[in-house]
Amino acid sequence: MLAKRTDKIPAYKRIQSAIRSVIEAGELRVGSLVPSERELARIHDVSLMTARHALASLEREGVVERRRGVGTFVAAPKIHFNKLMSYTEQMRSRGLATVSKVLFVKIIDNEEEAAAQLSLSPGSRVLKLERLRYAGGRPFALETCYLSAEQFSGLQSAPLQRESLFSTLERNYRIELSYSDEEVDTTAADPRTAELLGLPKHAPVLRIRQVIYSSKGVVILYVLGLYRSDRHNLVIRRYR
């Protein structure tokens, strides 16, 4: 429920916080109808203009989207290509808490493609981290990260189910991440991916492969992400 609150926070921010809270709690999911301006004004005992301002600000942030003549809905997460951001940072920019489930974290030596992407020799030991990512209480991405096991010794013990991998690398290993080379395409979900993401077998998913570099130009991460294509928009800004 979007409940009233009486404190010194500006009224439009209280409305935004309430909407974010119910999205985070899973009470409103991607595609769910958000209460109208008139309903929000009544619930929070504010003017129609204040309620309109709250929704307009959330729309600019990409949290909600308005459909003329229909209503306002919870927006699908957007992938921004103009800035290198972690999942945690992307969710935080939308006012959402990060939710991840670690499915696999182990040092392996049989991933030749991952070793090659990390500029390591064949048979090198790499840390493989697989996490299921959630948005609005529902799974929306399956991400697998590969790193040099030698360079990042002990990383598998970090609480990566609740902490940002980017932040952990920057804080614990003094790594300054700088840029990435990315490949984006679509593929069919294999049975395991489909089950984890709640999709029919062979449903199309968005695939993003990233090679992420430090500010010194050294490869730090190779990331393979599979995203529900029905819950994502690609937002691309191009400069000339």
Quickly list DSSP for 162-218: TS-HHHHHHHHS---EEEEEEEEEEEEPPHHHHHHHT--TT-EEEEEEEEEEETTS-
The pLDDT, as a whole number, for residue 234 is 60
Please report how the helices 48-61 and 37-44 are oriented relative to each other, as an axis angle in degrees rounded to 10.
120
The pLDDT, as a whole number, for residue 60 is 80
Structure tokens at 59: 């729309």
Which amino acid makes up residue 224?
A: L
Residues 6, 45: contact at Cβ < 8 Å?
no
Cite the residue boundaries of each domain of the chain with CATH code 1.10.10.10. 11-74
Cite the residue boundaries of each domain of the chain with CATH code 3.40.1410.10. 78-235
Residues 37-55 have pLDDT tens digits of 999 999 999 999 999 999 9
Residues 114, 222: contact at Cβ < 8 Å?
yes
CATH no. of 78-235: 3.40.1410.10
Residues 121-150 have pLDDT tens digits of 999 999 999 999 987 678 889 999 999 999
Is the pLDDT reported for residue 88 higher than 70? no
The pLDDT, as a whole number, for residue 172 is 93
pTM above 0.85, yes or no: no
CATH class of 11-74: mainly alpha
Indicate the length of the chain as a whole number: 240
Structure tokens at 40: 């929000």
Residues 43, 28: contact at Cβ < 8 Å?
no
Beta bridge partners of 181: 211
CA max distance for the chain:
65
